Chain A
Amino acid sequence: MHDQTVAQLSRGLREKRFSSVELTRHLLDRIGQLDSQLNSFITVTGEQALAAADHADRILAAGGAGPLTGIPIAHKDIFCTDGVRTSCGSRMLDNFVPPYDATVVRQLADAGTVCLGKTNMDEFAMGSSNENSYYGPVKNPWHTGLVPGGSSGGSAAAVAAGLVPAATGTDTGGSIRQPAAFCGITGLKPTYGRVSRLGIVAYASSLDQGGPMARSAEDCALLLNAMAGHDPADSTSTRREVPDYCAELERPLEGLRIGLPKEYFGEGLDAATGECIQAALRELESQGATLVEVELPNSHLTIPTYYIIAPAEASTNLSRFDGVRYGHRCDSPENLHDLYTRTREEGFGDEVKRRILVGTYALSAGYYDAYYRKAQQARRLIRDDFLACFESVDVIAGPTAPGPAFGIGEKISDPVAMYLEDVYTLAVNLAGLPGMSVPAGLVDGKPVGLQLIGRHFDEGRLLNVAHRFQQATDWHTRTPDIAGGAA
């Protein structure tokens, strides 16, 4: 059961080949057996999961089931879950149990999913390797010496290892797509505003977006159908109607114009990774798509722009963690200043502190114009580049990351090398566009992801392209050895 897709499991449940309780118990057992090697879960909610599965089985028996009824999932530990500790990978929130669900959590629960637990992540979603977690690094199921990518590394590893068929992630600069690529799964970052941010612990508010991580584009479509929609409690969520993302999956690719930004295929891209991407593009071409070289002339501004805007927003989003109302609080503070400084010194890890410092600096009087304002101007240029491309192409494609997963400890002491990991994904967040990563090959047994970028709110098109690709290839069905045989 554990190597099946959501779509397959959904059929199995309806055809009564197994129950949601059986499926849930099987996956909880697998988590118990395998996750000590991976560390992909921070919290496993077995009891609640079995209760939810039992409830789902009743609905299945009564015939009122939807496509996600009884499907086990996991939530990145950045999504607030009512009554379940939500740590955000941080000591700061190690003791934090929210009294509310994130909108996405509620939507997926309403759709009948069964939450198995909360997945590991880089602290406050800051990182590209999942090494910045208070709960320790997540290991890549394809090779436990490798990172799974970040920040949604726990979700990616858990799906790849067959611990759960699908999970939620958040993507602020690549945090869904890059770990999806590193772990050989399919991940979608929707258009900014498509999915509610309410109840997602904020990292960078103008960039954060929740999305699905699963084994296929079809599964992502199924999950996005439940996750997307206007939330009156999130002012930045759009009122635009939600299409049925499954409806267009089979649409043929004839006439599709795919833009290949020359900046994404140049220096810095691992050669073998590049070959996988080229092969994937030829497959799309063989299905009738046209490949067109395009330019994103302001690509070189992406990393500096992101690393001003994201830390600036983070520096103030994280001000609320002051030891006064919830979360970590230092022992016997002597005074207010001591309470603040020791609480935050103890509660935050190094990367979080680094970004708070950078962001505070960038917003400071005397530096604002040189950094934050400039970065906002650059952000507009980056967005305009994409919009210009989309006048002549329907979808943009390229690598998700410059290479496959790297070793644990390899880049952790070099923040700049780590930041370069996101060179192809950051711009999508800055432009607010939807982006996907689709398994597109293996390099030395390590998965490689093809990135697809669409027009605003054109998730349906991305899912369509990814689905057609997956109909013709089997990269997304490959599983790492750790996952064990079929059961």
Chain B
Amino acid sequence: MYNIWTIARRELKHYFISPIAYAVAFMILLIVGVIFYTNLLASMIYQQFAPGVDIVVGPIVTLILFTTPAITMRTLADEQRSGTMELILTAPVRDWELVTGKWLGAFLFYFIIILITWFYPIILNQLVSPGIDQGLMIANYLGLLLMIASLTAIGVAVSSIFSNQIAAFFATAGILLFLWMIGFPSQAMGASTAAEILKYLDLSEHFFSTFYEGVIELKNIVYYVSITSLALFLGSISIQSRRWR
């Protein structure tokens, strides 16, 4: 555990001195801010709806889908390219500790950004009477964090395969988008087992129809935790196999 924390801390620190993380943070905060402002303005003008936490979390989820590859692409790929992998793999660090540490670093980086965006629900709570639905907000944020955990885990796992960051970026983006809409065909397939399986595998399905609506169900938590664990496991296997190549 200690090694995981050492690696995660170093990763987190690295994010805050690298421009890419700032660019990602800037992009998320700017776009979420603009959307938040627009929604607020629209609801004030038309007086049709009271804005909820979804106007913040909705865009964040989409942005995270696209920024995760940029955040995770260098995690392990860069260690391989620069040769520092040799140093870490000859230190008394287990492969899974390395992968988990890298993932935790990326996760904590997002966690901090998400913490910053908490400002919006707080503002919203002040503006809307009688305040926003707190349960909905908790469900949304919980789902968001679970989603981030699995997306970053996939990103780190993909990064372990490559020594080229750009390759890691596009491979991660491809895999994430694929998993994001794998449930799409199920809509046209009618009620069949295959459709159910596709729907179950879908990354977005477990968020938008549940947490996003304020429903916290164990099976969805299990889904994200499983995806995260599976990705980290595969990442460790990939590091291990690197030794054998």
A in complex with B: no
Interface residues, chain A, with chain B CB atoms under 8 Å away: none
What residues make up the interface of B, taking CB atoms closer than 8 Å to A?
Answer: none
